[in-house]
């Protein structure tokens, strides 16, 4: 299945975007029929298939669907949508570890529900994309977290160094349903589309305890939250956060506070010239009106000329050139990000891993490739060298134990051997070859 968007669907999205962009007050009354289109549902299935993912509460897998025939399965789903008998299944909730400790809930809808949500996203996203604020970067086409980091760094270098490092408490879990639906209805008044969204917001959640006993929560009594893991949830979260960003612009806060907001979903910073405390007070009041809460323990005001702050995995703030050189405002991977990749490397290169070296190396290189692709901006030399050294130490220890080599194994598994004949990815070497001026 090709991941390239078919021309007919691209044309539909372009028309919806252009209409929404040209007429900001226009409200779309007829969209449900487009979600039900055969080509849109097929495209939605293709996207869901590419993302893979675990089965939902019904246990249905992509392999089972394809074994029975995708066309017939999609035809049955379309019939349910057209007849308006479609009802989402409960979401299977699992707990996944958080990078900073603890756990966060992840909802896993059934494939059937993922496909319908993806179809709705195909139709709705261009409409809302036309009205999103420029300061919003999260979950948007052709925008990324790196773009947000770059813009933050650019503003720091322009003198916006009084920073509100903000954090919203359980944002996805606390978005008020009624206010979110009103935000959607400002652009979309198709009652069947609004009904779909409400169904997804109020879908029951299934959890199983250690004994396998089933527990249900949520459902129609639920009034807050968008299940993390749902295909539609990221778009809905940006729609709601856009209320804050739009209110910031319309009330002229940028001029009043001499400040800019950079937002990535629930993670945002306010960069000001001398008015960070006032911006924080205003933000706290507005978030309360929106039914949201700042996490006071993780929200702070900082002078970026004197101390760094973490944003989207990067640390931004004062740095010094090597050998006691002058200071400058820079960006680099945060200590937490460094620690996370080291933990992943350590979990892979454990003595109990009996996999073939080719497979172990391939998995290791995938981890390194993904990490370096994200941390490809700013001051990289020391971070890359630290990761390379950790990779070498862990690889040498792993191979020494596997081959029962006495001592440290430095002679048998030298750095040159590990990064040469054994073909382990060396971040510093690759970066210096591609853009040596970026390493400092």
User: What is the pLDDT, as a whole number, of residue 46?
Assistant: 96
User: What is the pLDDT, as a whole number, of residue 1?
Assistant: 57
Residue 19's φ and ψ, nearest 5 degrees, are -65, -45
Q: Say if CB 204 and CB 90 are below 8 A apart.
A: yes
The tens digit of pLDDT for each residue in 255-282 reads: 999 999 999 988 999 999 999 999 999 9
Q: Which residues neighbour 428 within 8 Å (Cβ) at sequence distance 6 or greater?
A: 381, 384, 385, 388, 439
User: What is the pLDDT, as a whole number, of residue 102?
Assistant: 66
Q: Say if CB 380 and CB 438 are below 8 A apart.
A: yes
* pLDDT over threshold 60, residue 327: yes
User: What is the pLDDT, as a whole number, of residue 432?
Assistant: 64
Q: Say if CB 45 and CB 70 are below 8 A apart.
A: yes
User: What is the pLDDT, as a whole number, of residue 77?
Assistant: 97
The tens digit of pLDDT for each residue in 24-44 reads: 999 999 999 999 999 999 999
Distances (CA, A) of 219 to 59, 92, 222, 358, 434: 20, 13, 6, 48, 52
- The answer to which of 71-85, 108-122, 216-230, 243-257 has the lowest mean pLDDT is 216-230
CA 408 from centroid of its chain's CA atoms: 40
Residue 13's φ and ψ, nearest 5 degrees, are -65, -40
* For range 289-315, the mean pLDDT: 96
Per 3-state DSSP, the chain is made up of helix, strand and coil in percentages (nearest 5) of 50, 15, 35
- The answer to which of 139-143, 195-199, 317-321 has the lowest mean pLDDT is 317-321
How many C-beta atoms lie closer than 10 Å to residue 409's C-beta? 17
User: What is the pLDDT, as a whole number, of residue 229?
Assistant: 82
Q: Say if CB 269 and CB 149 are below 8 A apart.
A: no
The tens digit of pLDDT for each residue in 382-397 reads: 999 999 999 999 999 9
CA 251 from centroid of its chain's CA atoms: 29
Distances (CA, A) of 377 to 99, 316, 372, 438: 21, 11, 9, 8
User: What is the pLDDT, as a whole number, of residue 160?
Assistant: 98
Residue 114's φ and ψ, nearest 5 degrees, are -60, -40
Closest CA to 274 of 164, 162, 166: 162
Closest CA to 228 of 200, 256, 260, 254: 200
* pLDDT over threshold 60, residue 243: yes
The tens digit of pLDDT for each residue in 92-102 reads: 988 777 666 66
Q: Which residue has the tokens 């947000």?
A: 148
* For range 183-210, the mean pLDDT: 92
> Quick one: pLDDT band at residue 227, thresholds 50, 70, 90?
confident
Residues of the chain with pLDDT > 70, as a percent, come to 96
The tens digit of pLDDT for each residue in 205-219 reads: 888 776 777 777 777
Q: Say if CB 271 and CB 262 are below 8 A apart.
A: yes
Which pairing describes strands 259-264 and 267-272: parallel, antiparallel, or unpaired?
antiparallel
Q: Which residue has the tokens 């295909």?
A: 231
* pLDDT over threshold 90, residue 411: no
Q: Say if CB 147 and CB 131 are below 8 A apart.
A: no
Q: In what order do the strands lie in the sheet with 327-333?
A: 309-311, 314-320, 327-333
User: What is the pLDDT, as a whole number, of residue 440?
Assistant: 42
* For range 133-146, the mean pLDDT: 95
> Alpha helix locations (H) across 90-190?
111-129, 145-157, 171-174, 177-185
Nearest 10 degrees: Cα torsion 375, 381, 383, 389: 120
User: What is the pLDDT, as a whole number, of residue 99?
Assistant: 62
> Alpha helix locations (H) across 60-110?
62-68, 70-82
> Quick one: pLDDT band at residue 371, thresholds 50, 70, 90?
very high
Give dist(CA 397, CA 411) in Å, integer.
12
Give dist(CA 43, CA 115) in Å, integer.
9
User: What is the pLDDT, as a whole number, of residue 265?
Assistant: 87
- The two three-digit tokens of residue 323, written as one number: 């050998």
Closest CA to 198 of 168, 214, 218: 218
* For range 227-231, the mean pLDDT: 83
How many C-beta atoms lie closer than 10 Å to residue 14's C-beta? 11
User: Would you give the end-to-end CA distance of the chain in angstroms?
Assistant: 43
Q: Say if CB 168 and CB 8 are below 8 A apart.
A: no
- The two three-digit tokens of residue 174, written as one number: 């606390």
- Burial (CB < 10 A; 0-12, 13-18, 19+), residue 340, is middle
Residues of the chain with pLDDT > 90, as a percent, come to 78
């Amino acid at each position: 299945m090709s991941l390239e968007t078919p021309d007919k669907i691209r044309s539909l999205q372009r028309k919806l975007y252009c209409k929404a962009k040209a007429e900001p007050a226009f409200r779309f009354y007829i969209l449900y029929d487009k979600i039900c289109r055969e080509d849109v549902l097929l495209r939605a299935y293709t996207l869901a298939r590419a993302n893979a993912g675990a089965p939902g509460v019904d246990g249905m897998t992509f392999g089972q669907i394809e074994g029975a025939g995708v066309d017939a399965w999609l035809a049955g789903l379309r019939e349910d949508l057209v007849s308006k008998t479609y009802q989402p299944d409960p979401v299977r909730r699992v707990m996944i570890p958080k990078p900073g400790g603890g756990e966060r809930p992840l909802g896993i809808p059934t494939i059937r529900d993922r496909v319908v949500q993806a179809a709705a996203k195909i139709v709705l996203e261009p409409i809302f994309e036309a009205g999103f604020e420029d300061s919003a970067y999260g979950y948007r086409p052709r925008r990324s977290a790196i773009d947000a980091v770059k813009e933050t760094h650019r503003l720091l270098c322009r003198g916006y160094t009084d920073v509100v490092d903000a954090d919203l408490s359980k944002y996805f879990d606390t978005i008020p349903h009624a206010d979110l639906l009103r935000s959607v209805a400002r652009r979309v008044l198709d009652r069947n589309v609004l009904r779909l969204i409400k169904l997804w917001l109020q879908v029951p959640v299934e959890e199983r305890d250690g004994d396998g006993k089933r527990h249900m929560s949520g459902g129609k009594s639920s009034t807050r939250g968008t299940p993390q893991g749902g295909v539609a949830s990221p778009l809905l979260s940006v729609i709601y956060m856009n209320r804050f960003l739009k209110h910031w612009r319309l009330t002229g806060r940028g001029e009043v506070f001499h400040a800019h907001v950079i937002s990535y979903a629930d993670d945002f910073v306010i960069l000001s010239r001398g008015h960070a405390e006032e911006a924080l007070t205003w933000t706290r009041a507005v978030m309360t009106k929106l039914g949201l809460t700042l996490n006071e323990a993780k929200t702070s005001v900082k002078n970026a000329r004197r101390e760094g702050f973490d944003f989207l995995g990067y640390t931004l703030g004062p740095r010094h050139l090597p050998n006691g050189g002058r200071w400058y405002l820079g960006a680099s991977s945060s200590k937490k990000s460094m620690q996370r990749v080291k933990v992943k490397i350590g979990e892979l290169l454990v003595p109990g891993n009996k996999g073939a070296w080719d497979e172990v190396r391939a998995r290791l290189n995938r981890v390194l490739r993904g990490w370096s692709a994200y941390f490809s901006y700013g001051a990289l030399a020391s971070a890359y060298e630290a990761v390379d050294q950790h990779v070498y130490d862990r690889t040498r220890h792993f191979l020494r134990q596997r081959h029962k080599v006495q001592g440290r194994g430095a002679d048998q598994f030298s750095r040159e051997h590990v990064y040469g004949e054994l073909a382990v990815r060396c971040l510093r070497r690759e970066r210096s070859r591609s853009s040596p001026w970026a390493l400092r």
